[in-house]
Amino acid sequence: WNYRDELVRAVAVKRENAMPDAEYYQYDSGGNRLRKVTERLMYNGTQKEIEEKYYFGPYQYKKISQVMVGNEDTPPAMLLEKKTLKISGPAGLCCISHFWDTDVSGRETKDKKRLYRYQYTDVLNSVGLEANENGEILTYEEYYPYGGTAFTVAANALAISLKEYKYSGQEKDGFTGLYYYGMRYYPPWLCRWMNTDPAGTIDGLNLYTFVSGNPITAYDVGGMGKRKGHDFETPPAKRKYLAEEIPDDIPTNQQLKPVFRELGKKIGDEIKAESTSFTAFLHELTALGAQEEGKASLLFRNNESQDDDQLRTAFRYAWNSNDHGRFSSSYRAVHPGMDEHIATSMV
């Protein structure tokens, strides 16, 4: 953190004799994020991958490059270059347009140069459904009250990987799992803010509480204050006006509610039907993970590695694919007793 209480660096993998896997942030004088840089070591530490994202209001520019470690003075190889425009419309509608100039490895797109994502939000601005320009569903997501993902359905892996705006319509950083609200960062697994409210006691004496403990009917705006959900504050006359402004061929949130219910019921029935086999699969996966971790530990001991802790951390990091857990554990280690302190303050 810097002296203005802004997050400027987050480390996911720390190494003793090499650069960490980390993410860096830069802001303007008003506290708005202007630039995000993610650096990772690849290919056994021989290559450094640099991902940069720039913010210009509704316009964003992203590029991913790669350079040989120890030879950073040479021009990096460009792997991906993308421009994004986000346009917000009435009644919770939003269109995100992606345009790729370069995607060498096809990590975000296989055959398209442009993609439109139409987002439909609920009363708390959370993005539930996404569709493309042909009306085909790209993603559908349900959330727990404090922002954690309950379940996700997607047309393919690329469709869900490109979804950056989720709970309350905020951007979720994939590296840390934190939601960027503007003036603050929110970790949904903690159900509270990471730092104090810059607006002071506008939402109560507890400066860490998220929407005063009422995420069902309220959402936060800019990290500085809660607001009631749209359906709870919009007069009927205004809702009717907004509905009339929407073209007839674009479904509204009210028209999509039956679709949401049917899709949720279908998913629930499938999970229920497969619950026995799914539970058995989880047990097998857990046992396999323990077995593989045991093999890795034995390998580390046989090699008498001096970096046992780093290798063990890297193995678990790769096996679990859980960036959020690693960052959460690191945060808890630096701030011992913070959860208990906040819980006591809330009571």
What's at 195, amino acid-wise? N
Structural domains counted in the chain: 2
- Percent helix, percent strand, percent coil in the chain, to nearest 5: 30, 30, 40
Same domain, 220 and 342: no
Domain-embedded: residue 289: no
Same domain, 132 and 22: yes
Structural domain that includes position 321: 296-346
Give the pLDDT score at 18: 92
Same domain, 140 and 172: yes
Give the pLDDT score at 98: 95
Same domain, 263 and 301: no
Tokens of 158: 């690329």
Tokens of 346: 């809330």
Domain-embedded: residue 2: no
Same domain, 240 and 311: no
Domain-embedded: residue 282: no
- What's this model's pTM, rounded to 2 decimal places? 0.68
Q: Measured between alpha carbons, how far is residue 92 from residues 222, 239, 257, 311 in Å?
A: 17, 11, 14, 46
Domain-embedded: residue 204: yes
Same domain, 213 and 321: no
Give the pLDDT score at 265: 76
* Closest C-alpha to 172, from 160, 157, 158: 160
Model pLDDT for residues 51-74, shown as the tens digit of each residue: 999 999 899 999 999 999 988 888
Model pLDDT for residues 199-229, shown as the tens digit of each residue: 899 888 999 999 999 999 999 989 999 998 8
Specify the 3-state DSSP secondary structure of 287. Answer: helix
Residue spans of the chain under pLDDT 70: 91, 231-253, 267-268, 270-347
Give the pLDDT score at 76: 92
Domain-embedded: residue 214: yes
CATH of the domain at 212: 2.180.10.10
- The pairs formed by 78-81 with CB atoms below 8 angstroms and a separation of 24 or more are 78/102, 78/104, 79/49, 79/103, 79/104, 79/105, 79/107, 80/104, 80/105, 80/107, 80/108
Residues 191 and 148: their CA atoms lie apart, in Å, by: 9
| Last residue within a domain, chosen from 216, 241, 273 | 273
